[in-house]
Amino acid sequence: MTYEEAKELAFKTEWKVADCFSGKECWCAMIVPKKTIKYNEIHSTIPQKLIIVSSAALDRKTAEYIVKVHNHYINNQPL
């Protein structure tokens, strides 16, 4: 799967909030698909895990809100 295909799939799947490398006590949080989505980089043989929002981009409360809204939308609206 390419990065573009992985990104498109992510818009149709549920997301979750994940801790950054600093752990739960950190101010930030990441957003990732609930079910891991892997894709292949053009020049790499190692599949990468898709991250929707990386660490230090959002505070935890905002990340939780975005995940809640996204999951509600995909579970209640046809795509």
User: What pLDDT, on the 0 to 100 scale, is given for residue 55?
Assistant: 95
Taking alpha carbons only, the member of 73, 70, 74 closest to residue 58 is 70
Instruction: Give the pLDDT band of residue 78 (cuts 50, 70, 90).
Output: low
Q: Give the Å distances, CA to CA, from 44 to 23, 32, 34, 53, 74.
A: 28, 21, 24, 22, 32
| Across 48-61, average pLDDT | 96
Ramachandran bin of 15, using left for φ above 0, alpha for ψ from -120 to 50, beta for the remaining angles: beta
Instruction: Give the pLDDT band of residue 33 (cuts 50, 70, 90).
Output: very high
pTM summary value: 0.89
